[in-house]
Amino acid sequence: MTQYSPDLHDLTVVQLATQLRSRKVSSVEAAQHFLARARAHSDLGAFLDMSEDVTLAQAGAADARLAAGPAGALVGVPLAHKDIFVTRDFVSTAGSKMLAGYRSPFDASVVSRLAAAGAVTLGKLNCDEFAMGSANENSAFGPVKNPWDNTRTPGGSSGGSAAAVAARLTPAATGTDTGGSIRQPASFCGITGIKPTYGRASRYGMVAFASSLDQAGVLARSAEDCALLLSAMCGFDPDRDSTSLDLPAEDFSLKLGDAIDGLRIGIPAEFFGEGLADDVRAAVDAALKQYQALGAQLVPISLPRTELSIPVYYIIAPAEASSNLSRFDGVKFGHRAAQYTDLNDMYRQTRAEGFGDEVKRRIMIGTYVLSHGYYDAYYLQAQKIRRMIADDFQAAFKVCDVIAGPVAPTVAWKLGGHGNDPLADYLADIFTLPASLAGLPGMSLPVGFGADHMPVGLQLIGNHLTESRLLNVAHRFQQATDWHNARPQGV
């Protein structure tokens, strides 16, 4: 084996895969390299669990596959999983004290699909507790630092995934997006992320938050990498997720080379209103100009219920969460209080000790909006408006092919910057929630820097099942620009 490059961590997944296949580097060497980097940058708080033995055993098996002859693109490629996916060989906590030290008897479908494709798991990545949050500050295991500025949030809830990819501690990571948790951290950390259409990836083994919204996706450096990983992790899971879509496997890389001239990009007026910070607006505007230079045309559109997506989401998501989280009762798995008087007291103490503030807040809101007398006033109304939000998108897609706008109103804020004001976090989700409520695919790609040299992402939203097109639109931008190759100093 030739001596591999010391800058191995700067390679994209596609580049690293080429080196693995040509045997310039072995999977074991690559895994060792990334594990060493993860350990050296443990101060970022990105990883929650690593196991060198497990990782190197997987890498060794991948090397055997590579040696045996032509192998698939992901064989031997290291990656890491958001800790919301359960894994047999690593601890799975979902960022909660409730599941501290928990070991699952099985792998999530997304994890087993990537493993079957030959990917090697480096470990588990920090996230907001049960994926509830926008800053990764709701993790029971401490916040994650943004590699571009350690005093700032990496975004959330897939904050560990975004920070680890941006800091080159892993070439790519899985994430989940219920209301923006892939797109927003990707934007805050200057990387590329995609949440596919609801139902594309199986939810089996993804610790449930809001089941009608939860969707797995990828955080990586480029759209090309995202396409490769997404192709491996998506697919029908008939026996295990009844909402997974019954569609043949798709190679999302196939359209990457397509020209985009004549592409109609819808620009929703509501995404460019008052609340949008000037620095974010400037970077997004420049990206849209770049798209025009590539031959796309900008079409003004309206998504009139954008603002309503906040109350609608913050009724529906907590309602589903309150039901999903009832399983954490101290009986079946996870934490159980040491002291209690009777069964009810055991439930009460266990849940009081195991859940953090934000999770408790959502359980209370959720049970309230689902309770008799309030169900019609809140939950049912929210469901109706959710449908109207989805209809607004369908009207927009009659006049445009993709929709573009900011991912978040500002760049990453300071850790602790929103203090004890959960509403400040909720409001910052305004541009990512609409696509989630409509079940649409969305992505974020880096398009420049705002104040204090913090990354800014451009959000692209496509119609259902148009991931290939979306990735192609992002890829063409990345072929013409270099923002996705920018890397933080000091890591």
Q: Where are the beta strands (DSSP E) in 283-374?
A: 297-301
CB neighbours of residue 262 within 10 Å: 9
**224 near ligand GLN (CB under 6 A):** no
* Separation of alpha carbons 138 and 141, rounded Å: 9
What per-residue string of b and e applies to 453-482 under the rule 16 or more CB within 10 Å gives b?
ebbbbbbbbbbbbbbbbbbbbbbbbbeebe
Scan residues 391-430 and list those touching ligand GLN (CB under 6 A): 429
According to the binding rule CB under 6 A, does residue 134 interact with ligand GLN? Answer: yes
Q: How far is the CB of 152 from ligand GLN (least distance, A)?
A: 17
- Residue 24 annotated to the active site: no
| Nearest CB to ligand GLN, comparing residues 147 and 156 | 156
Strand, helix or coil for residue 174: strand
For ligand GLN, the binding residue among 38, 79, 98, 132 (CB under 6 A) is: 132
Using alpha carbons, select from 150, 138, 193 the residue that is nearest to residue 41: 150
Site for ligand GLN in 248-287 (CB under 6 A): none
- By CB under 6 A, tell whether 149 contacts ligand GLN: no
Strand-pairing partners, residue 120, are 78
Is 181 labeled as catalytic in the residue annotation? yes
Which of the following is catalytic: 134, 157, 187, 231?
Answer: 157
Which of these is catalytic: 82, 97, 145, 195? Answer: 82
From candidates 26, 178, 231, 463, binder to ligand GLN by CB under 6 A: 178
The correct pick among 45, 76, 160, 179 for binding ligand GLN (CB under 6 A) is 179
Phi, psi for residue 353 in degrees, rounded to 5: -80, -35
- Give me the least distance between CB of 155 and ligand GLN, in Å please: 9
Q: Which contiguous run of DSSP H or E holds residue 405? A: strand 402-406
Half-sphere exposure (Cβ direction) of 229: Cα atoms closer than 13 Å? 34
User: In the set 55, 92, 112, 157, which binds ligand GLN (CB under 6 A)?
Assistant: 157
Name which of residues 184 to 213 contact ligand GLN (CB under 6 A).
Answer: 209
With CB under 6 A as the contact rule, which of the stretches 129-137, 233-241, 247-255, 461-469 interacts with ligand GLN? 129-137
Site pattern 158..177 for ligand GLN (x: CB under 6 A): -------------------x
Does 19 engage in binding with ligand GLN (CB under 6 A)? Answer: no
For residues 473 and 263, the answer to whether their CB atoms sit within 8 Å is yes
Q: What are the phi and psi torsion angles at 282 (to 5°)?
A: -65, -45
- Shortest-Cβ-distance residue relative to ligand GLN: 181
Q: Is 157 marked active-site? A: yes
Neighbours of 339 (CB within 10 A): 8
446 scored as a contact of ligand GLN (CB under 6 A): no
What are the backbone dihedrals phi and psi of residue 458, each rounded to the nearest 5 degrees, phi first?
Answer: -105, 135
Identify any residues that bridge with 177 across adjacent strands, giving them in sequence order.
215
Residues with catalytic function: 82, 157, 181
Please report, as ranges, the residues that interact with ligand GLN according to CB under 6 A: 131-134, 157, 177-181, 209, 317, 429
